[in-house]
Amino acid sequence: MGKTIAEKIFASHVVDKPSGDIHVIRLDGVFCHEITTPSAIVDLIERGKDRVFEPEKIKAVIDHVTPAKDSKTALQGKILREWSRRHKIRNFFDVGRNGVCHALFPEKGFVRPGYTIIMGDSHTCTYGAFGAFAAGVGTTDLEVGILKGVCAFKYPSTMRINITGVLPAGVFAKDVILSVIGRIGVNGATNQVIEFGGPVVEAMSMEARMTLCNMAIEAGATCGICEPDSTTVAYLWEFIADQYASESAALDAFSVHKPDADARYSSVLNHDVSSLVPMATYGYKPDEVKPVSEMDGTPVDQVYIGSCTNGRIEDLREAAKVLKGQNISDTVRAIVSPATPKVYATALEEGLIKIFTDAGCCVTNPTCGACLGMSNGVLAEGEVCASTTNRNFNGRMGKGGNVHLMSPATAAATAIAGHITAVRG
């Protein structure tokens, strides 16, 4: 019987099967940020187990609240910083070099096809874009990962979603994933891996694939996975050029991470996007999705463009295309948060930052900040935000606030109009 991508990765990483369908797998990466890791570090210290399994496989960043906004967040950063120094974790990214984890770590080449990665963050599923098995975990799993380099998972069944048809102009990966979640629901892929494939995914850039996989968790999935291909190789080439004779040799090597033709899936969904239109969420769950046109006119107080879902350079380019030469409405404030220093620098070089500031947007340093209502743009009670992030839970961006999820292009058009609207023309 053939195997799916996730099954192949499990087969090559299993170290124990303690009972039933539980697989304990070896980890290629344990990634850390300052919100969930400090409590793991403190607990390990209290237990007399302040050790790390392999400093090279651990990557750490301060990204959720940065620069620190108060002494509590400063302490979280301090604990992570001192721990990284103590254990010689070379890849620790402090303020100035830091960015949103799920944008920064792939950009640094830390995610490769066939890897197993955990992080104390639910959107770790983003890394599946590279053909990796990557899953968000809680603090205890993170502690065991740091200490032993292993993690236990139920053997994952895989749901295959083929994105078919042709993506219309002005419709993006964000619209695709919102429509998928709207179709299968917030619980539609719980305890499963979603393997994304089909012509639309094959034609997507790595950035778009990351947007797609980023929100797999919003359907309950353990991980979203794309097949590694020549796009994956081209993205990673600067990091792997010394390991392979040529890009095509790398492509050959990566082909072991493709699913078998006779792989068995728990279900196969064909999702045709040829007539897809820009989508947005309306309620407090990410599956409460409808066409932007049906929400046209909904007033908003704030527009937020950024996050691990849509804070990459392609996202800023799409937003800038819409905002170029325009002013945002007097009735809204707009915040643009490039996801990494490299994204920021590229946006500066390309003149995007000037387009944003000329339009009246506030451009912040790379950080999660407002996405989870912790800093840099928290909503007041009763306020509404049009946001390119991934979660519209009640209170997510501030107690009593309401979030509508959408693509960067739709968010930019909304900023200009002052109410929810799709890009015209």
**Residues at the interface with another protein (CB under 8 A):** 15-16, 18-20, 22, 24, 35-36, 38-39, 42-43, 47, 49, 65, 70, 72-73, 75-76, 79, 120-122, 124, 135-141, 143-144, 147-148, 150, 152, 154, 186-187, 190-191, 220, 222, 285, 372-374, 391, 393-396, 399
Helix/strand/coil percentages in the chain, nearest 5: 40, 20, 40
Closest distance to another protein from the beta carbon of 124 (Å): 8
Which amino acid belongs to residue 126? T
Q: How far apart are CA 299 and CA 396, in angstroms?
A: 19
Closest distance of CB 304 from another protein, Å: 15
Q: CA 114 to CA 167: how far, in whole Å?
A: 28
Nearer to ligand SF4, 233 or 403 (CB): 403
390 binding partner (options ligand SF4, another protein, none; Cβ < 5 to 8 Å by kind): ligand SF4
Specify the residue, 102 or 312, whose C-beta has the smaller distance to ligand SF4: 102
The nearest distance, CB 14 to another protein, in angstroms, is 13
Strand positions, DSSP E, 254-326: 267-272, 279-281, 289-291, 302-306
Query: Which lies closer to ligand SF4 via its Cβ, residue 96 or residue 168?
Result: 96
Selection from ligand SF4, another protein, none that 377 binds (CB < 5 to 8 A by kind) is none
Q: How far is the CB of 124 from ligand SF4 (least distance, A)?
A: 9
Enter the tokens of residue 215: 């929100």
- Among ligand SF4, another protein, none, partner that 363 touches (CB below 5 to 8 angstroms by kind): none
CB of 93 vs ligand SF4, minimal distance in Å: 14
CB of 48 to another protein, least distance (A): 11
Please give the structure tokens belonging to residue 103. 């944008």
Query: What minimum distance in Å lies between the beta carbon of 197 and another protein?
Result: 22
In the complex with ligand SF4, the residue whose CB is nearer, 172 or 254, is 172
Helix (H/G/I), strand (E/B), else coil: 16: strand
- Residue 214 beta carbon to another protein: minimum distance, rounded to whole angstroms: 14
Closest distance to another protein from the beta carbon of 101 (Å)? 12
Q: Which partner from the list ligand SF4, another protein, none does 307 bind, CB cut-off 5 to 8 Å by kind?
A: ligand SF4
C-beta closer to ligand SF4: residue 101 or 406: 101
* 232/389 with CB nearer ligand SF4: 389
C-alpha distances out from residue 196 to 107, 147, 202, 270, 290, Å:
21, 32, 9, 10, 22
Q: Which does 19 bind (CB under 5 to 8 A by kind): ligand SF4, another protein, none?
A: another protein
Which residue ranges make up the site for ligand SF4 (CB under 6 A)?
Answer: 64, 100-102, 121, 123, 307-308, 368, 371-372, 389-390
Residue 239 binding result from ligand SF4, another protein, none, given CB thresholds of 5 to 8 Å by partner type: none
Query: Could you tell me which of 403, 407, 404, 409 has the C-alpha nearest to residue 175?
Result: 407
Residue 380 interacts with which of another protein, ligand SF4, none, CB < 5 to 8 Å by class: none
User: Which contiguous run of DSSP H or E holds residue 421?
Assistant: none
Is the CB of 189 or the CB of 263 nearer to ligand SF4? 189
Judged on CB neighbours under 10 Å (0-12, 13-18, 19+), 96 is: exposed
Coil, helix or strand at residue 311? coil
SS3 405: strand
User: Residue 361: which of another protein, ligand SF4, none does it interact with, CB under 5 to 8 A by kind?
Assistant: none
Give the separation between CA 195 and CA 66, rounded to whole angstroms.
34
Closest C-alpha to 146, from 253, 55, 207: 55
Long-range contacts of 349-356 (CB under 8 A, 24+ apart): 350/317, 350/320, 352/316, 352/317, 352/320, 355/320, 355/323, 355/324, 355/325, 356/316, 356/319, 356/320, 356/323
User: Whose Cβ is closer to ligand SF4: residue 372's or residue 415's?
Assistant: 372
> Residue 278 in contact with residue 182, Cβ under 8 Å?
no
Helix locations, 172-293, DSSP H:
173-184, 199-202, 206-214, 230-240, 247-254
